Amino acid sequence: FDDFDARRQFWEAALNGQMAERFLEGDEEGALQIAKDMLAGGKPEGVVHIVGAGPGDPELLTLKALRLLQQADIVYYDRLVSDEIIDLIRRDADRVCVGKEKNFHSVPQPKIHDLLVESAREGKRVVRLKGGDPFIFGRGGEELEALQAEGVDAHVVPGISSALGCAASSGIPLTHRDHAQAVTFVTGHAKSGDVPELDWPSLGATNQTLVIFMGLTNALTIAENLIKAGRKPSTPVAIIENGTREDERRFFGSLSEMPQIVDQNKVTSPALLIIGEVAGLPLEAIIRRAADEAA
């Protein structure tokens, strides 16, 4: 090879890339064919890994996620991925933010699909980095379908869901033999921006924990619907902003108070609403109830 980048791509493919993966899987002929194609001037076979970054604490990354970040040629990352995790990306990799905010999509979802396909067809090792787990309200399923429809080699690396990370950091067991025999993850934000059409009677049942993603804007309507469905206004609630990160904030109260807690404390995303008796178990929640009763 006369070109430095071409030499680098060849040896990285041989040691860490598709060539190495084919060989380790026992597909020696496939690995040999990739080597021949590249020696003949061809580009390495592109691949996309849809990777969960977890809730924000870099120590909660999986080992596989870390390895892929350090091998990637280009990383398309979401707004909710923490700076500490962004810093772990390979130094000379391209970094492209395709994050979304409420009512503002800097890069529309179909365009993200096109970018992933285009980069893979250029022979790049692509990481699509998403906060939490890609398959829990992360649009990972849409992206995997789009890649497969185009014949792109695509894989999914799970991450610790923000629901699990935030609950654990706050000392909230999502299930508990005495208080919650089920846990349900729901979105509080429909595609249109309104409250989604949920099965409120089912969600109003007791002895279960509700974890609501993207529910800040519609906190008032969510609380009203749950109370109408049978949840007691006094049901404990925890609101966790920036869970597992250094700037994490936690607020505890009751279901009827939830909208006021969000407004008065100017809670911003990323934040989760955890509703159910388990939200009243942490010491912070107990102290808060004792203070309210003494007031």
What's the half-sphere exposure (Cβ side, CA atoms, 13 Å) at 151?
A: 2
Give dist(CA 257, CA 267) in Å, integer: 14
- Does residue 100 have an active-site annotation? yes
On whether the CB atoms of residues 264 and 256 are closer than 8 A, the answer is no
DSSP states of 232-281: -TT-EEEEEESTTSTT-EEEEEEGGGHHHHHHHTT--SSEEEEESGGGG-
- Does residue 2 have an active-site annotation? no
Instruction: Name residue, tokens 């049942």.
Output: 205
**Which string of b and e fits 176-206 if b means at least 16 CB within 10 Å?**
beebbeebbebbbbeeeeebeebebeebbee
Of 37, 100, 114, 232, the catalytic one is: 100
Give dist(CA 80, CA 278) in Å, integer: 26
Contacts for 12 with CB less than 8 Å, ≥ 6 apart: 71
Give dist(CA 144, CA 154) in Å, integer: 7
Residue 101 phi, psi (nearest 5): -130, 165
Of 57, 73, 78, 133, the catalytic one is: 78
On whether the CB atoms of residues 158 and 62 are closer than 8 A, the answer is yes
Give me the active site residues, please.
Answer: 78, 100
